[in-house]
Structure 1
Amino acid sequence: MQGYIWAYEMIMPKDDAKLNGDLGPRSYSYFELERMTEGFKDEIGRGAFGTVYKGVILNDIQKVIAVKRLDKVLRNGEIEFQTEMKVIGKTHHRNLVRLIGFCLDGPNRLLVYEYMSNGSLADTLFAPKTPPPWEKRMQIAHNIARGILYLHEECTSKIIHCDIKPQNILLDENGCAKISDFGLAKLLQPDQTRTFTDIRGTRGYVAPEWHRKLPITVKADVYSFGIVLLEIICCRRGVDWNLPEEEAILDEWVYRCFENGELGQLVGEEEIDMQHFERMIKVGLWCIQYEPSLRPTIKMVLHMLEGLLDVPIPPASSSRSVI
């Protein structure tokens, strides 16, 4: 992989002081984090590499935190830790979850994040309760796009997130959406824009090129964002086999409705400006084009969402959701 490295392959600094000096987040002992979480009592999330607990920084006016305790530290967990420390520690944006600190204490590997009190976008969007109104959903879509734009074009080490999905979008106390979980992140060197690698990400959000053994570029994140955008628009999961067969795969159903001039079927009883609704649908369909070269950049996507760019009619896409 010349000039291009997986975030997984970063070299660990030789001591904690160097790590802390390079990145800024504070170093905590395992004992401190054990106290802050009351013995890791309150579990608030679980992922492929570890479990997240709610805690409180005792000397910071009861600042609530989220502590990610990595379980698989022998290989995957260690690599995950190196990834998140080196990548997240150097990223600062209002639409990214902020890393506050870390723990390198014997075999223990933990990460300390800002606490996101409103849970994930999946909780908000797919729960039985009433989903957010259209304006709020569009604000969330804008937040996500801005966060991805920072990763792709504005931070020091260009990053492909590789796992954009509602479960990895968290909402703070003000409902501001922030991207989390950089465990699958890939770093882009200045002279490199793509790489070959094994499939990463989550079924239903993975771009077709992962399965075609093609180089992976930032357009893979654009595809995933497109699926998430359609989910935000329609307030449902991208794949739902509880629905009639013709509606089960969201992107296919959306395109059929768009092509047949039947977008009203996607709206339901919600009162939405149909011109704006159609515009957002077209943005989503552009994002999920089968060929990466046809997809817009995330900057173009954001400009389309903001009304700064016209959104032409998207071509028919042969892409299918991976289930």
Structure 2
Amino acid sequence: MRVIGKTHHKNLVKLLGYCQSGSNHQLLVYEDTSKGSPVNFLFNSDHQQIPSWDERLKIALNVARGILYLHEECETQIIHCDIKLQNILMDDSGCAKIGDVGLAKLLKPGQTNTFTGIRGTRGYVAPEWHRNLPVTVKVDVYSFGIVLLEIVCCRRNLDMNRSEDEAVLADWVYVCFENGELGKLVSSEDQQQKVMLMLEGTIDIPTPPSPSSFLSSIINLDTKKCRDQY
């Protein structure tokens, strides 16, 4: 609580106080974020209510700045461990702030990685959690990547109401990337052009690894463990 209380950044939900009186009276008091989570309007079936591209870009930048502060700028380096849209809240001015650091892992000075039990929410959890590897701040970066895709595409990272090919957002985006069909990710031509410019950038970007490669690595690792045991 002392560490969380010392964090001060415009893109973090501010902790105002807390109460701890026995196991049955534990309370955290945060600043008011009246507009709630972006989930409330990003996944709205009424497409006229979906935020504009500029508004979504602002949300993404706000979250990125908050994560940067946790990783590099606050006194104690913090791995949030549960970056997801439900843990992003917005104030009256539309500023997005990261909240709920209940699963956070603190790093000691000079420490770059740590071993800990799996934390986070299905769909946002980085591959290294499943492979029993040391975790670093990169697990938050992976989760932010999923959040970014949700913001761009205005859909949940896992949607079982869609076809099998499109149910898992990260897999579908990679297929679109491979096929040169990134325009499928957004709904209007104006947004398509802006998203294409953002994703392509002005410099060469290495081809991202296929999501299926993570699964192969896990299978190979498990197979090796079995061989070692016998």
- Within a 5 Å distance, the mapping from 1:13-32 to structure 2 comes to none
- Within a 5 Å distance, the mapping from 1:232-311 to structure 2 comes to 232-269=151-188, 271-272=190-191, 274=193, 276-281=194-199, 310=203
Q: Tell me the amino acid that sits aligned with residue 195 of structure 1.
A: T
Aligned to 1:285: none
Aligned to 2:39: 122
- Give the alignment partner of residue 198 of structure 1, picking from 117, 133, 137: 117
Instruction: Output the CA distance in 2 between the equivalents of 1:145 and 1:221.
Output: 10
Q: Tell me the amino acid that sits aligned with residue 126 of structure 1.
A: F
Identity, in percent, stands at: 63
- TM norm structure 1: 0.62
Give structure 1 stretches of 5+ with no counterpart: 1-84, 283-306
- TM norm structure 2: 0.85
Instruction: Output the CA distance in 2 between the equivalents of 1:319 and 1:278.
Output: 26
Aligned to 2:108: 189
Aligned to 1:103: 19
Is the CA contact 2:183–2:196 (under 8 Å) kept in the aligned structure 1?
Answer: no
Aligned to 1:55: none
Question: How far 1:270 sits from its partner (Å)?
Answer: 5.6
Aligned residues: 210
SS in 2 for 1:253: helix
- Give the alignment partner of residue 9 of structure 2, picking from 93, 102, 121: 93
Pair 277,158 (structure 1): closer, same or farther in 2 beyond 3 Å: same
Instruction: Output the CA distance in 1 between the equivalents of 2:40 and 2:199.
Output: 22
Q: Tell me the amino acid that sits aligned with residue 192 of structure 1.
A: Q
Deviations 1:160-189 (A, max 9, x none): 000000000001111100000010111111
Aligned to 2:205: 312
Aligned to 1:7: none
RMSD: 1.8
Deviations 1:47-67 (A, max 9, x none): xxxxxxxxxxxxxxxxxxxxx
Instruction: Output the CA distance in 2 between the equivalents of 1:146 and 1:125.
Output: 20
Is the CA contact 2:183–2:192 (under 8 Å) kept in the aligned structure 1?
Answer: no
Instruction: Output the CA distance in 1 between the equivalents of 2:164 and 2:155.
Output: 15
Pair 279,192 (structure 1): closer, same or farther in 2 beyond 3 Å: farther
- Give the alignment partner of residue 165 of structure 1, picking from 65, 79, 84: 84
Question: How far 1:279 sits from its partner (Å)?
Answer: 4.6
Give structure 2 stretches of 5+ with no counterpart: 216-230
Is the CA contact 1:144–1:179 (under 8 Å) kept in the aligned structure 2?
Answer: yes
Identify the structure with the greater strand proportion: 1
